[in-house]
Amino acid sequence: FGGQPFLAQRLASKQALKDSVEKDASLVEIVSTFIGFNTSLIESFWHYMLAHATSAFYYRHLMM
């Protein structure tokens, strides 16, 4: 019966594929979390800078 080793091989490669996909998924999760954190950091920095700049601009405008 020649079908048995082939089936086992396919199952093994499927498991290996599943493992590598899960590994990639966790890596992607880590990277996206890191990028997401940095993005929110950069965004809040820009919001702070913009708010600061506009308030300073308005303040100067009012004082003139």
Would you say residue 43 has pLDDT above 70? yes
Query: What mean pLDDT do residues 16-27 have?
Result: 84
Q: Quick one: what percent of the chain has pLDDT higher than 90?
A: 0
User: What's the confidence (pLDDT) of residue 64?
Assistant: 63
Token pair in block for residue 37: 């954190």
Residue-level pLDDT at 17: 84
Q: How confident is the model at residue 30 (pLDDT cuts 50, 70, 90)?
A: confident
Tell me: pLDDT of 28 over 70. Answer: yes
**What is the rounded distance in angstroms from the CA atom of residue 45 to the CA atom of residue 29?**
24
